[in-house]
């Protein structure tokens, strides 16, 4: 038995947890390599052209895994803490995988509906008979869920890079963006720099948002907005939740007179175009800092 | 009080009567035109789906016509639709700040009957319940009318056009439960002479997102165009069924969901599960083809699209998926429909 885990979508959030979990249970697993051009090109073939980039990427990863693993681990995240939904595409991705890759491997897709712990416990019991071992494995793995990078304080101007984890930590997508900001001398803040309690707070507009990752994005935006010099929001084309919440954030940023850059990406986006836009955006922030002008409206 | 709500195809008549029953005047603005869409697109976010743009344009035109109370369905879940009203409220406030905007949650019947509606219209909860009960019957009448007109269009399109006006006049004059029953009989009388049941007709099932299916402006009058091509359109979606679904009275729901289970193990939100379930039922019932319409970048329907592709392979049934946005041209759509109908015809009559 060899379990394949695609390095895409939810891997960037729960990947370390799953790695540790399977290692403790002595399950052999294989993780697809970081996204590259070939994987993306394969993925595009499987789904309709309208879905968002991360879904196309995960299909490419599944394609890579298809002859290398006997089982596929792809949990179905329906609801997370207190009935917050993930997103239609994350719920449906398991079905899409079933349509295309049913013949290649057996799909293990536990359904997570407000029961992250128990779902993994039940899954563990199928793999080993010893419940104590399963409990230990989950407890060991859990430390990876709540680890956050510490924010280094220096004098450099700060930029808030707002996007889903599967966009930011997939370096194939985000590398040109992050590199350009760093080259321009900015410190990048992401939502992972905020603690769990603040991320899930229900203050203000956040209580209306029922998508769990969007709520986190909005809370991070709301908390960091006064501290940063500009906000950059990466949206994958066709992302439904982002199209709404980004608009709300854009309005808020306008009211507070903060520069706000929306970058919409898909598989046709060229890195050069992105870099030019980001450089122009950085120039605006720098000019504002130099002149202390707060009346430039973006 | 002049109340406006978005147009909803033929079912607008039922909703209008509902509002008038609660003691308010309805002021919906002019019928939907290209101007509505361009107004809506102008003020909408870039990546939002089509129903948002049309309903927003609709509200702007209603405000121009003098409406002062806007009603919008809400209910935040997995689909974007539940969040429309937050943005629309903000956008409309910038355009005209003399109106009240109310979001009516679909999934909380108790609040609807006892808090929200009595508060907006200043009536007792009993009146709201009575009005909703009548709304259910009005929409049932319209559902029946749509069934008849689809059948008539398939056999004699130009006759259907004439009779449609006559039938709509009857429906508009209905104002009580007794008259609904009477109108049903009259409708049957109007449409009966041209209904014959020969097998030489092709049947195409229509599935997709509910607003696009109900509002002819949004779907470029797809039902009419298919009728012109001599196709009998079969569709299970209507305001009547949706209301029954919300009030948990629809038994057909269970059948749909159990049929969808083979393709979607869990609802991805919106109407995706119904789309797939209905398509599966159509495929089993030997319907000749399925047309799936949805707004461009609609999240749940995109998942349904993948499921329908699989269903098409499993049952060898032709499926045409059409995603619609403000740039869709009617001519292009017609060409696709004609080609699809040809495919279906050839498949059916090849022997």
Give the tens place of pLDDT for each residue, A242-257: 988 999 999 999 999 8
Q: Are residues B279 and B336 in the same domain?
A: yes
What is the pLDDT of chain A when averaged over all its residues?
A: 88
Which of A218, A240, A242, A266 is the best residue to mutate to test the B interface, defined by the most B CB atoms within 10 Å of its own CB? A240
Q: Flag whether pLDDT at B334 surpasses 50.
A: yes
Considering the domain architecture, whether residues B188 and B221 belong to the same structural domain is answered as: no
pLDDT tens string B17-65: 999 999 999 999 999 999 999 999 999 988 899 999 999 999 999 999 9
Task: Specify the pLDDT at position B35.
Answer: 94
DSSP reduced 3-state for A249? helix
Instruction: Report residue A298's pLDDT band, with 50, 70 and 90 as the boundaries.
Output: very low
Same domain, B224 and B238: yes
Check whether residue B129 and residue B118 sit in a common domain: no
Q: Is A88 on the interface with B (CB under 8 A)?
A: yes
Facing residue for A244 by CB, picked from B48, B78, B302: B48
ipTM attached to this prediction:
0.90
Q: Give me the CATH number covering residue B274.
A: 3.40.50.11900
CA-CA distance, A147 to A85, in Å (whole number)?
23
d(CA B196, CA B2): 45
Residue A95 pLDDT class (50, 70, 90 cuts): very high
Which residue is closest to B268 within chain A, CA to CA?
Answer: A88
What radius of gyration do chain B's Cα atoms show?
A: 20
Domain boundaries, chain A: 3-142, 158-291
Residues of chain A neighbouring B263 (CB-CB closer than 8 A):
95, 99
pLDDT digits (tens, 9 = 90+) for A270-281: 889 999 999 999
Which residue among B107, B122, B137 closes a domain?
B122
Is the Cβ of B94 closer than 8 Å to some Cβ of chain A?
Answer: no
Whether B330 and B298 have beta carbons less than 8 Å apart is answered as: no
**What are the E-state strand segments in chain A?**
3-5, 29-31, 71-73, 76-80, 84-85, 106-108, 111-113, 158-162, 187-189, 230-236, 260-265
Q: How many domains does chain B have?
A: 3
Name the architecture of domain A158-291: 3-Layer(aba) Sandwich (3.40)
Q: Which residue bears the tokens 């409220």?
A: B89
Beta carbons of B1 and B24 less than 8 angstroms apart: yes
* CA-CA-CA-CA torsion sign (A9, A10, A12, A15): negative
Q: How close is the nearest chain B Cα to the Cα of A150, in Å?
A: 33
pLDDT category of residue A292 using cuts at 50, 70 and 90: low
Is residue B244 within 8 A of residue B326, CB to CB? The reply is no
Contact map slice: B 13-72 vs A, CB within 8 A? 45-49
B235 shares a domain with B332: yes
A111 touches chain B (CB under 8 A): yes
Give the model's pLDDT for residue A192. Answer: 85
3-state secondary structure of B43: helix
Token duo for residue A72: 């596929």
Residues B203 and B324 in one domain: yes
Q: Which residue of A has its CA nearest to B302?
A: A51
Contact B80/A240, CB-based, under 8 Å? yes
Q: How many angstroms away from the CA of A206 is the closest CA of chain B? A: 12
A103-146: pLDDT as tens digits? 998 999 999 988 888 899 999 998 888 889 889 888 888 888 86
Q: What percentage of chain B carries pLDDT values higher than 70? A: 98
**Residue of B87, B267, B323 lying closest to A244 (CB–CB):** B87
CATH classification code of A3-142: 3.40.50
A73/A92 Cα distance (integer angstroms): 15
pLDDT-derived band of residue B96, with 50, 70 and 90 as boundaries? confident
A chain contacts of residue B90, beta-carbon cutoff 8 Å: 251
Residue B68 belongs to a domain with what CATH number?
Answer: 3.40.50
B81 shares a domain with B40: yes
Instruction: Identify which has the larger pLDDT, A294 or A83.
Output: A83
- pLDDT tens, position by position, B217-260: 999 999 999 999 989 999 989 999 999 999 888 888 889 999 99
Neighbouring residues of B30: CB distance < 8 A, sequence distance ≥ 6: B61, B65
Q: Are residues B184 and B228 both part of a single domain?
A: no
Q: Please answer whether residues A199 and A191 qualify as being in contact, where contact means their C-beta atoms are separated by less than 8 angstroms.
A: yes
- Give yes or no for A99 touching B (CB within 8 A): yes
The predicted pLDDT at position A114 comes to: 86
Q: Of the residues B122, B140, B156, which one is the last residue of a structural domain?
A: B122
Final residue of a structural domain among B68, B99, B122: B122
Inter-residue long-range contacts of A144-153, CB under 8 Å, 24+ positions, other chains counted: A144/A16, A144/A17, A144/A20, A145/A14, A145/A17, A146/A196, A147/A16, A148/A192, A148/A193, A148/A194, A148/A195, A149/A192, A149/A193, A150/A193, A151/A189, A151/A193, A152/A187
Beta bridge partners of A16: none
pLDDT tens figures, A38-92: 999 999 999 988 899 999 999 999 999 988 999 999 999 998 877 889 889 999 9
Residue A88 to residue B265, Cβ atoms within 8 A: no
Count of other CB atoms within 10 angstroms of residue B129 = 15
**Three-class SS state of A217:** helix
User: What pLDDT digit, counting tens, does each position of A202-241 carry?
Assistant: 888 888 898 999 999 999 999 999 989 899 999 999 888 8
Q: Which domain holds residue B151?
A: 124-195
Contact B106, B73 (CB under 8 A): yes
Asked, colleague to colleague, whether A3-142 and A158-291 share their fold, the answer is yes
């Amino acid at each position: 038995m060899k379990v394949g885990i695609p390095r895409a979508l939810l891997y960037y959030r729960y990947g370390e947890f799953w790695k540790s979990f399977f290692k403790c249970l002595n399950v052999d697993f294989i993780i697809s390599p970081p996204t590259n051009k070939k994987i993306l090109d394969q993925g595009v073939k499987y789904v309709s052209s309208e879905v968002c980039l991360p879904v196309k990427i995960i299909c490419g990863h599944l394609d890579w895994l298809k002859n290398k693993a006997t089982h596929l681990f792809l949990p179905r995240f329906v609801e997370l803490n207190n009935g917050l939904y993930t997103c239609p595409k994350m719920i449906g991705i398991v079905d899409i995988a079933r349509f295309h890759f049913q013949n290649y491997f057996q799909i293990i897709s536990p359904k997570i509906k407000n029961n992250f712990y128990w779902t993994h416990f039940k899954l563990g019991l199928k793999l080993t008979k010893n419940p104590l071992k399963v409990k230990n494995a989950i407890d060991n793995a859990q430390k990876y869920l709540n680890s956050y990078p510490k924010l280094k304080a220096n004098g450099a101007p700060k930029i808030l890079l707002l996007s889903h984890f599967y966009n930011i930590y997939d370096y194939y997508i985000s590398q040109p963006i992050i590199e350009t900001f760093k080259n321009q001398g900015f410190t990048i803040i992401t939502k992972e720099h905020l603690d769990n309690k603040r991320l899930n707070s229900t203050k203000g507009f956040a209580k209306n948002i029922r998508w769990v990752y969007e709520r986190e994005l909005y809370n991070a935006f709301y908390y960091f907005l006064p501290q940063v010099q500009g906000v950059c929001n990466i949206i994958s084309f066709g992302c439904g939740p982002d199209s709404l919440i980004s608009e709300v954030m854009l309005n808020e940023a306008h009211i507070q007179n903060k520069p706000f850059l929306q970058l919409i990406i898909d598989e046709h986006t060229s890195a050069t175009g992105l870099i030019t836009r980001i450089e122009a955006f950085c120039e605006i922030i720098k000019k504002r800092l130099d002149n202390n002008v707060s009346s430039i409206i973006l | 009080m002049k109340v406006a709500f978005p147009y909803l195809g033929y079912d607008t008549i039922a909703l209008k009567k509902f509002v008038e029953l609660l003691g308010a005047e309805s002021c919906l603005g002019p019928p939907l035109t290209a101007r509505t869409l361009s107004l809506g697109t102008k003020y909408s976010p870039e990546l939002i789906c089509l129903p948002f743009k049309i309903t927003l344009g609709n509200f702007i035109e209603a405000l121009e016509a003098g409406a002062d109370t806007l009603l919008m369905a809400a209910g935040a879940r997995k689909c974007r639709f539940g969040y429309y009203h937050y943005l629309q409220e903000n956008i409309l406030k910038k355009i005209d700040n003399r109106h009240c905007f109310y979001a009516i949650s679909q999934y909380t019947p108790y609040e609807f009957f006892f808090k929200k509606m009595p508060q907006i219209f200043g009536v007792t909860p009993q009146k709201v319940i009575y009005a909703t009960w009548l709304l259910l019957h009005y929409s049932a009448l319209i559902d029946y009318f749509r069934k008849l007109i689809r059948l008539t269009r398939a056999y004699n399109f130009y006759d259907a056009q004439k009779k449609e006006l006559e039938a709509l006049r009857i429906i508009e004059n209905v104002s009580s439960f007794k008259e609904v029953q009477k109108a049903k009989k009259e409708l049957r009388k109007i449409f009966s002479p041209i209904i014959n049941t020969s097998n030489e007709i092709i049947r195409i099932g229509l599935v997709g997102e509910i607003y696009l299916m109900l509002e002819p402006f949004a779907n470029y009058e797809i039902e009419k165009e298919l009728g012109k091509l001599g196709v009998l359109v079969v569709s299970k979606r209507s305001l009547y069924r949706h209301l029954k679904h919300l009030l948990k009275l629809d038994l057909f729901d269970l059948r749909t969901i159990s049929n969808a289970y083979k393709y979607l193990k869990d609802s991805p939100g919106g109407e995706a599960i119904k789309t797939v379930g209905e398509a599966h039922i159509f495929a089993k019932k030997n319907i000749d083809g399925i047309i799936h319409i949805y707004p461009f970048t609609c999240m749940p329907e995109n998942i349904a699209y993948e499921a329908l592709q699989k269903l098409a392979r499993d049952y060898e049934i032709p499926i045409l998926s059409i995603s619609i946005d403000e740039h869709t041209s009617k001519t292009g759509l017609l060409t696709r429909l004609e080609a699809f109908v040809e495919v279906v015809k050839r498949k059916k009559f090849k022997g």
